[in-house]
Structure 1
Amino acid sequence: MHKPIKYVEKAVTLGAKGAWFIFDHFNRIKPNPSPTPKWSDKPLLKSYQKSKPPLGWPRATDSLCPKCVPEIRQQILDGHLPHEVLLNEKVGEIKATIVEQDGKIWMVKECPKHGRFQDLMSIDTEFSKHLEDVFPGRDIRAHNDEKLHNHGSSTVKYGRGSVLTIDLTNRCNMMCDPCFMDANQVGFVHEPQWEEIKQMLDNAITIKPRRQMS
Protein backbone atom coordinates (compact mmCIF):
# COMPACT_ATOMS: atom_id res chain seq x y z
CA MET A 1 0.00 0.00 0.00
CA HIS A 2 1.30 3.44 -0.90
CA LYS A 3 2.22 5.89 1.82
CA PRO A 4 -0.16 8.88 2.24
CA ILE A 5 2.49 11.23 0.86
CA LYS A 6 2.23 9.44 -2.49
CA TYR A 7 -1.43 10.36 -2.76
CA VAL A 8 -0.58 13.96 -1.86
CA GLU A 9 2.10 14.05 -4.57
CA LYS A 10 -0.38 12.64 -7.08
CA ALA A 11 -2.98 15.24 -6.15
CA VAL A 12 -0.46 18.08 -6.43
CA THR A 13 0.67 16.80 -9.83
CA LEU A 14 -2.88 16.61 -11.16
CA GLY A 15 -3.65 20.05 -9.73
CA ALA A 16 -0.57 21.56 -11.37
CA LYS A 17 -1.47 20.02 -14.73
CA GLY A 18 -5.01 21.35 -14.46
CA ALA A 19 -3.83 24.84 -13.53
CA TRP A 20 -1.37 24.89 -16.42
CA PHE A 21 -4.08 23.74 -18.85
CA ILE A 22 -6.33 26.62 -17.79
CA PHE A 23 -3.50 29.18 -17.87
CA ASP A 24 -2.34 28.00 -21.29
CA HIS A 25 -5.89 28.18 -22.66
CA PHE A 26 -6.43 31.79 -21.56
CA ASN A 27 -2.92 32.77 -22.60
CA ARG A 28 -3.76 31.87 -26.20
CA ILE A 29 -6.70 34.27 -26.31
CA LYS A 30 -4.47 37.35 -26.34
CA PRO A 31 -0.86 36.21 -26.22
CA ASN A 32 2.02 38.61 -25.87
CA PRO A 33 4.30 38.76 -28.93
CA SER A 34 7.34 36.52 -28.77
CA PRO A 35 10.76 38.19 -28.53
CA THR A 36 13.24 38.02 -31.40
CA PRO A 37 16.67 37.08 -30.03
CA LYS A 38 19.93 38.34 -31.50
CA TRP A 39 20.79 34.91 -32.86
CA SER A 40 17.65 34.71 -34.99
CA ASP A 41 15.85 36.89 -37.52
CA LYS A 42 12.51 35.39 -36.50
CA PRO A 43 10.70 35.46 -33.14
CA LEU A 44 10.73 32.50 -30.79
CA LEU A 45 7.90 30.03 -31.24
CA LYS A 46 5.27 29.53 -28.59
CA SER A 47 4.59 25.95 -27.57
CA TYR A 48 1.34 25.71 -29.55
CA GLN A 49 3.08 27.05 -32.67
CA LYS A 50 5.66 24.26 -32.78
CA SER A 51 5.08 21.45 -35.23
CA LYS A 52 5.98 17.81 -34.75
CA PRO A 53 6.93 15.06 -37.19
CA PRO A 54 4.87 11.86 -37.25
CA LEU A 55 5.52 9.99 -34.00
CA GLY A 56 4.50 6.63 -32.57
CA TRP A 57 4.52 3.30 -34.33
CA PRO A 58 3.96 1.75 -36.70
CA ARG A 59 4.89 4.68 -38.91
CA ALA A 60 6.55 5.24 -42.27
CA THR A 61 9.75 7.23 -42.62
CA ASP A 62 12.68 7.82 -44.97
CA SER A 63 15.97 6.01 -44.59
CA LEU A 64 19.13 5.04 -46.47
CA CYS A 65 20.29 1.76 -47.90
CA PRO A 66 23.51 0.86 -46.02
CA LYS A 67 24.96 -0.67 -49.18
CA CYS A 68 23.88 1.91 -51.76
CA VAL A 69 25.49 4.78 -49.84
CA PRO A 70 29.12 3.52 -49.92
CA GLU A 71 28.68 2.44 -53.55
CA ILE A 72 27.50 5.90 -54.60
CA ARG A 73 30.22 7.57 -52.54
CA GLN A 74 32.87 5.49 -54.30
CA GLN A 75 31.43 6.33 -57.72
CA ILE A 76 31.67 10.04 -56.89
CA LEU A 77 35.27 9.67 -55.68
CA ASP A 78 36.18 7.72 -58.82
CA GLY A 79 34.73 10.46 -61.01
CA HIS A 80 31.92 8.35 -62.43
CA LEU A 81 29.21 10.53 -60.86
CA PRO A 82 29.11 14.28 -60.14
CA HIS A 83 28.70 15.21 -56.49
CA GLU A 84 25.60 17.21 -57.47
CA VAL A 85 23.62 13.97 -57.50
CA LEU A 86 23.59 14.23 -53.70
CA LEU A 87 21.71 17.52 -54.03
CA ASN A 88 19.44 16.87 -56.97
CA GLU A 89 18.63 13.18 -56.63
CA LYS A 90 17.54 10.99 -53.74
CA VAL A 91 20.42 8.58 -54.17
CA GLY A 92 20.42 5.70 -51.73
CA GLU A 93 17.13 6.77 -50.16
CA ILE A 94 14.49 4.13 -49.48
CA LYS A 95 11.25 3.99 -47.55
CA ALA A 96 11.22 2.35 -44.13
CA THR A 97 8.68 1.36 -41.51
CA ILE A 98 9.18 1.66 -37.76
CA VAL A 99 7.39 -1.16 -35.97
CA GLU A 100 7.19 -2.83 -32.57
CA GLN A 101 8.09 -6.51 -32.43
CA ASP A 102 8.64 -8.66 -29.34
CA GLY A 103 8.86 -5.63 -27.06
CA LYS A 104 11.46 -3.89 -29.23
CA ILE A 105 11.39 -1.09 -31.80
CA TRP A 106 12.70 -1.98 -35.25
CA MET A 107 13.23 -0.13 -38.50
CA VAL A 108 12.39 -2.37 -41.44
CA LYS A 109 13.35 -1.33 -44.96
CA GLU A 110 13.87 -2.92 -48.33
CA CYS A 111 16.14 -1.82 -51.15
CA PRO A 112 15.18 -2.91 -54.69
CA LYS A 113 18.84 -3.71 -55.34
CA HIS A 114 20.19 -5.05 -52.04
CA GLY A 115 17.14 -6.54 -50.37
CA ARG A 116 15.70 -6.29 -46.88
CA PHE A 117 17.32 -4.71 -43.81
CA GLN A 118 16.11 -4.68 -40.22
CA ASP A 119 17.75 -2.37 -37.68
CA LEU A 120 17.13 -2.46 -33.93
CA MET A 121 16.25 1.02 -32.66
CA SER A 122 15.23 0.41 -29.06
CA ILE A 123 15.01 -2.44 -26.56
CA ASP A 124 12.65 -0.49 -24.28
CA THR A 125 9.34 0.48 -25.90
CA GLU A 126 8.03 2.27 -22.82
CA PHE A 127 11.09 4.50 -22.58
CA SER A 128 10.96 5.21 -26.31
CA LYS A 129 7.30 6.19 -25.99
CA HIS A 130 8.18 8.47 -23.07
CA LEU A 131 10.86 10.23 -25.15
CA GLU A 132 8.36 10.89 -27.92
CA ASP A 133 5.66 12.02 -25.48
CA VAL A 134 7.92 14.70 -23.97
CA PHE A 135 9.21 15.97 -27.33
CA PRO A 136 8.42 19.72 -27.15
CA GLY A 137 8.13 20.28 -30.89
CA ARG A 138 10.36 21.61 -33.63
CA ASP A 139 12.53 24.66 -33.14
CA ILE A 140 12.51 27.79 -35.31
CA ARG A 141 12.79 26.96 -38.99
CA ALA A 142 16.23 27.61 -40.47
CA HIS A 143 16.33 30.86 -42.44
CA ASN A 144 18.66 33.27 -44.23
CA ASP A 145 21.35 30.61 -44.66
CA GLU A 146 20.15 28.74 -47.72
CA LYS A 147 23.68 28.42 -49.11
CA LEU A 148 24.76 26.48 -46.02
CA HIS A 149 21.57 24.51 -45.45
CA ASN A 150 21.57 23.10 -48.96
CA HIS A 151 22.00 19.35 -48.80
CA GLY A 152 19.21 18.17 -51.05
CA SER A 153 16.60 16.01 -49.34
CA SER A 154 18.88 15.82 -46.26
CA THR A 155 18.83 19.57 -45.69
CA VAL A 156 18.45 20.58 -42.04
CA LYS A 157 15.18 22.51 -41.76
CA TYR A 158 14.69 22.95 -38.02
CA GLY A 159 16.79 23.36 -34.92
CA ARG A 160 19.87 25.21 -33.81
CA GLY A 161 22.13 22.29 -33.03
CA SER A 162 23.92 21.84 -29.75
CA VAL A 163 27.60 21.69 -30.62
CA LEU A 164 29.94 22.47 -33.51
CA THR A 165 32.37 19.69 -34.35
CA ILE A 166 35.11 20.11 -36.95
CA ASP A 167 37.02 16.95 -37.76
CA LEU A 168 40.65 17.81 -38.42
CA THR A 169 41.42 14.32 -39.72
CA ASN A 170 39.75 11.01 -40.42
CA ARG A 171 42.85 9.11 -39.34
CA CYS A 172 42.05 6.80 -36.44
CA ASN A 173 43.47 3.65 -34.88
CA MET A 174 40.00 2.13 -34.48
CA MET A 175 37.19 1.11 -36.82
CA CYS A 176 34.00 1.57 -34.82
CA ASP A 177 30.89 0.57 -36.78
CA PRO A 178 28.71 3.50 -35.58
CA CYS A 179 31.39 6.11 -36.39
CA PHE A 180 29.54 8.91 -38.21
CA MET A 181 32.66 9.95 -40.15
CA ASP A 182 33.60 6.41 -41.25
CA ALA A 183 37.16 6.82 -39.99
CA ASN A 184 39.59 4.36 -41.59
CA GLN A 185 36.82 2.96 -43.79
CA VAL A 186 36.56 5.34 -46.75
CA GLY A 187 39.91 4.49 -48.33
CA PHE A 188 41.37 8.00 -48.28
CA VAL A 189 42.67 10.60 -45.83
CA HIS A 190 40.70 13.81 -45.42
CA GLU A 191 42.33 16.68 -43.52
CA PRO A 192 41.00 20.22 -44.14
CA GLN A 193 43.48 23.04 -44.59
CA TRP A 194 43.61 26.01 -42.22
CA GLU A 195 41.71 28.27 -44.64
CA GLU A 196 38.97 25.66 -44.93
CA ILE A 197 38.74 25.40 -41.15
CA LYS A 198 38.38 29.18 -40.82
CA GLN A 199 35.67 29.11 -43.49
CA MET A 200 33.76 26.47 -41.52
CA LEU A 201 33.92 28.60 -38.37
CA ASP A 202 32.80 31.70 -40.29
CA ASN A 203 29.93 29.74 -41.81
CA ALA A 204 28.84 28.54 -38.36
CA ILE A 205 28.48 32.13 -37.19
CA THR A 206 26.15 32.99 -40.07
CA ILE A 207 23.67 30.14 -39.47
CA LYS A 208 20.22 31.34 -38.42
CA PRO A 209 18.92 30.45 -35.94
CA ARG A 210 21.94 29.42 -33.89
CA ARG A 211 22.63 28.56 -30.29
CA GLN A 212 23.28 31.36 -27.86
CA MET A 213 26.99 32.04 -27.84
CA SER A 214 28.96 33.55 -24.98
Structure 2
Amino acid sequence: MSDYVLEFDLNSYHQLDEYALLSCQKYNYGNDSDWFGSFRGGLYGSYARIHGVCSHYYTVHAWMPRPRLPSETEYHLASLFFNMDSMIECITYAFNALGFCASGDKGFRDITCERSLKKISPCDILGRPNANPPQSHLPEYDSYFPEVRKYWESKRDLINMIFEQHDVSKHRETIFVGGKCRTTPPLGYFESIGVDPKNPSESSLFWPMEEI
Protein backbone atom coordinates (compact mmCIF):
# COMPACT_ATOMS: atom_id res chain seq x y z
CA MET A 1 0.00 0.00 0.00
CA SER A 2 1.22 3.53 -0.78
CA ASP A 3 2.56 5.61 2.09
CA TYR A 4 0.13 8.32 0.99
CA VAL A 5 -3.10 6.31 1.21
CA LEU A 6 -4.99 6.16 4.51
CA GLU A 7 -7.15 3.20 5.45
CA PHE A 8 -9.34 2.96 8.54
CA ASP A 9 -10.53 -0.24 10.20
CA LEU A 10 -14.23 0.42 10.77
CA ASN A 11 -15.20 -3.05 12.00
CA SER A 12 -15.89 -1.81 15.52
CA TYR A 13 -18.18 0.89 14.08
CA HIS A 14 -20.10 -1.72 12.10
CA GLN A 15 -20.45 -3.84 15.23
CA LEU A 16 -21.71 -0.83 17.17
CA ASP A 17 -24.26 -0.19 14.43
CA GLU A 18 -25.50 -3.78 14.59
CA TYR A 19 -25.73 -3.55 18.38
CA ALA A 20 -27.77 -0.34 18.16
CA LEU A 21 -30.04 -1.84 15.50
CA LEU A 22 -30.73 -4.80 17.77
CA SER A 23 -31.29 -2.51 20.75
CA CYS A 24 -33.94 -0.43 18.99
CA GLN A 25 -36.21 -3.40 18.34
CA LYS A 26 -39.54 -3.39 20.20
CA TYR A 27 -38.57 -6.41 22.28
CA ASN A 28 -35.49 -4.51 23.56
CA TYR A 29 -35.31 -0.77 24.20
CA GLY A 30 -37.59 0.26 21.37
CA ASN A 31 -37.28 3.52 19.46
CA ASP A 32 -40.07 5.77 20.73
CA SER A 33 -37.77 8.80 20.97
CA ASP A 34 -36.15 8.03 17.58
CA TRP A 35 -32.82 7.72 19.34
CA PHE A 36 -31.76 5.24 16.65
CA GLY A 37 -32.22 7.89 13.95
CA SER A 38 -29.95 10.24 15.91
CA PHE A 39 -27.43 7.46 16.44
CA ARG A 40 -27.35 6.50 12.75
CA GLY A 41 -27.13 10.15 11.72
CA GLY A 42 -24.03 10.62 13.85
CA LEU A 43 -22.46 7.33 12.80
CA TYR A 44 -23.02 7.83 9.09
CA GLY A 45 -21.81 11.41 9.43
CA SER A 46 -18.60 9.92 10.87
CA TYR A 47 -18.24 7.65 7.85
CA ALA A 48 -18.56 10.63 5.51
CA ARG A 49 -15.94 12.63 7.42
CA ILE A 50 -13.52 9.68 7.39
CA HIS A 51 -13.96 9.51 3.62
CA GLY A 52 -13.14 13.22 3.49
CA VAL A 53 -9.96 12.70 5.52
CA CYS A 54 -8.79 9.93 3.18
CA SER A 55 -9.64 11.89 0.05
CA HIS A 56 -7.93 15.15 1.01
CA TYR A 57 -4.89 13.38 2.47
CA TYR A 58 -4.41 11.48 -0.79
CA THR A 59 -4.77 14.60 -2.93
CA VAL A 60 -2.18 16.55 -0.94
CA HIS A 61 0.41 13.90 -1.82
CA ALA A 62 -0.76 12.82 -5.29
CA TRP A 63 0.90 13.59 -8.62
CA MET A 64 -1.57 15.63 -10.68
CA PRO A 65 -1.29 16.59 -14.39
CA ARG A 66 -1.31 20.30 -13.54
CA PRO A 67 0.70 22.77 -11.43
CA ARG A 68 0.13 22.65 -7.66
CA LEU A 69 -0.62 26.04 -6.15
CA PRO A 70 0.03 26.66 -2.42
CA SER A 71 -3.61 27.76 -2.10
CA GLU A 72 -4.73 24.33 -3.31
CA THR A 73 -2.58 22.58 -0.72
CA GLU A 74 -3.97 24.93 1.93
CA TYR A 75 -7.51 24.04 0.85
CA HIS A 76 -6.85 20.33 1.29
CA LEU A 77 -5.13 20.89 4.65
CA ALA A 78 -8.01 22.98 5.96
CA SER A 79 -10.49 20.39 4.67
CA LEU A 80 -8.52 17.62 6.38
CA PHE A 81 -8.80 19.31 9.74
CA PHE A 82 -12.47 20.14 9.19
CA ASN A 83 -13.24 16.48 8.53
CA MET A 84 -11.14 15.31 11.51
CA ASP A 85 -12.86 17.78 13.83
CA SER A 86 -16.31 17.04 12.43
CA MET A 87 -15.77 13.29 12.67
CA ILE A 88 -15.13 13.64 16.41
CA GLU A 89 -18.28 15.76 16.73
CA CYS A 90 -20.38 13.26 14.75
CA ILE A 91 -19.30 10.18 16.69
CA THR A 92 -19.96 12.05 19.95
CA TYR A 93 -23.49 12.69 18.66
CA ALA A 94 -23.89 8.96 18.00
CA PHE A 95 -22.54 8.01 21.43
CA ASN A 96 -24.93 10.44 23.10
CA ALA A 97 -27.94 8.95 21.30
CA LEU A 98 -26.99 5.41 22.28
CA GLY A 99 -26.28 6.47 25.85
CA PHE A 100 -29.59 8.35 26.02
CA CYS A 101 -31.38 5.12 25.18
CA ALA A 102 -29.33 2.83 27.43
CA SER A 103 -29.55 5.11 30.47
CA GLY A 104 -33.31 5.48 30.29
CA ASP A 105 -33.14 9.12 29.17
CA LYS A 106 -30.95 10.07 32.14
CA GLY A 107 -27.54 11.69 32.25
CA PHE A 108 -26.99 12.21 28.53
CA ARG A 109 -28.16 15.12 26.37
CA ASP A 110 -31.88 14.90 25.62
CA ILE A 111 -32.18 14.04 21.92
CA THR A 112 -35.84 15.09 21.88
CA CYS A 113 -34.94 18.68 22.82
CA GLU A 114 -33.42 20.96 20.17
CA ARG A 115 -31.72 23.12 22.78
CA SER A 116 -30.14 20.08 24.41
CA LEU A 117 -28.97 18.70 21.06
CA LYS A 118 -26.99 21.87 20.42
CA LYS A 119 -25.03 21.25 23.62
CA ILE A 120 -23.66 17.87 22.50
CA SER A 121 -19.89 18.24 22.35
CA PRO A 122 -16.68 16.18 22.60
CA CYS A 123 -16.26 18.03 25.90
CA ASP A 124 -19.07 15.81 27.20
CA ILE A 125 -16.46 13.04 27.02
CA LEU A 126 -13.28 15.01 27.74
CA GLY A 127 -14.51 17.82 29.96
CA ARG A 128 -13.01 21.33 29.94
CA PRO A 129 -10.12 21.15 32.41
CA ASN A 130 -8.72 24.53 31.30
CA ALA A 131 -12.01 26.40 31.67
CA ASN A 132 -12.53 28.83 34.54
CA PRO A 133 -13.84 27.12 36.56
CA PRO A 134 -12.84 23.70 35.15
CA GLN A 135 -15.74 21.59 33.88
CA SER A 136 -15.83 17.82 34.21
CA HIS A 137 -17.04 15.39 31.57
CA LEU A 138 -20.51 13.88 31.85
CA PRO A 139 -20.08 11.10 34.45
CA GLU A 140 -22.39 8.75 32.53
CA TYR A 141 -19.62 8.22 29.98
CA ASP A 142 -17.63 6.45 32.71
CA SER A 143 -20.52 4.02 33.17
CA TYR A 144 -21.63 3.42 29.58
CA PHE A 145 -18.51 4.16 27.51
CA PRO A 146 -15.53 3.59 29.84
CA GLU A 147 -13.17 2.44 27.07
CA VAL A 148 -14.04 5.45 24.92
CA ARG A 149 -13.40 7.75 27.87
CA LYS A 150 -10.07 6.09 28.61
CA TYR A 151 -8.90 6.15 24.99
CA TRP A 152 -9.94 9.73 24.31
CA GLU A 153 -8.26 10.85 27.51
CA SER A 154 -5.02 9.19 26.36
CA LYS A 155 -5.30 11.11 23.06
CA ARG A 156 -6.35 14.43 24.57
CA ASP A 157 -3.33 16.35 23.21
CA LEU A 158 -3.89 15.06 19.68
CA ILE A 159 -7.61 15.85 19.79
CA ASN A 160 -6.91 19.34 21.10
CA MET A 161 -4.41 19.90 18.27
CA ILE A 162 -7.05 18.92 15.71
CA PHE A 163 -9.53 21.34 17.27
CA GLU A 164 -6.94 24.13 17.36
CA GLN A 165 -5.75 23.68 13.77
CA HIS A 166 -9.32 23.57 12.49
CA ASP A 167 -10.18 26.68 14.46
CA VAL A 168 -7.18 28.56 13.04
CA SER A 169 -7.76 27.45 9.43
CA LYS A 170 -11.50 28.14 9.66
CA HIS A 171 -11.45 31.53 11.33
CA ARG A 172 -8.02 33.13 11.10
CA GLU A 173 -5.32 32.37 8.55
CA THR A 174 -3.46 29.86 6.41
CA ILE A 175 -1.94 26.88 8.20
CA PHE A 176 0.27 25.77 5.28
CA VAL A 177 3.76 27.11 5.95
CA GLY A 178 5.88 24.80 3.79
CA GLY A 179 7.54 21.44 4.18
CA LYS A 180 9.15 18.87 1.90
CA CYS A 181 8.05 18.06 -1.65
CA ARG A 182 8.00 14.76 -3.48
CA THR A 183 10.55 14.93 -6.29
CA THR A 184 10.44 11.38 -7.67
CA PRO A 185 7.37 11.07 -9.91
CA PRO A 186 5.95 7.89 -11.43
CA LEU A 187 7.81 6.68 -14.51
CA GLY A 188 6.96 8.80 -17.55
CA TYR A 189 4.92 11.34 -15.56
CA PHE A 190 6.59 14.52 -16.82
CA GLU A 191 6.89 13.22 -20.36
CA SER A 192 3.15 12.51 -20.44
CA ILE A 193 2.30 16.14 -19.66
CA GLY A 194 5.02 17.69 -21.82
CA VAL A 195 7.23 18.99 -19.01
CA ASP A 196 11.03 18.78 -18.98
CA PRO A 197 11.95 16.84 -15.80
CA LYS A 198 15.48 18.29 -15.96
CA ASN A 199 14.19 21.84 -15.66
CA PRO A 200 13.42 22.30 -11.94
CA SER A 201 11.94 25.77 -12.43
CA GLU A 202 9.26 24.09 -14.53
CA SER A 203 8.95 20.62 -12.99
CA SER A 204 8.84 21.94 -9.40
CA LEU A 205 5.46 23.52 -10.12
CA PHE A 206 4.01 20.01 -10.27
CA TRP A 207 5.62 18.55 -7.14
CA PRO A 208 3.10 17.40 -4.52
CA MET A 209 3.91 17.47 -0.82
CA GLU A 210 5.79 14.71 0.98
CA GLU A 211 5.77 16.27 4.44
CA ILE A 212 4.07 19.36 5.84
With the shorter chain as reference, the TM-score category is under 0.3
Question: Which structure is larger by alpha-carbon Rg, 1 or 2?
Answer: 1
TM-score when normalising by structure 2: 0.24
Larger strand fraction of residues: 1
TM-score when normalising by structure 1: 0.23
| Larger relative contact order (Cα-Cα within 8 Å, sequence gap ≥ 6) | 2
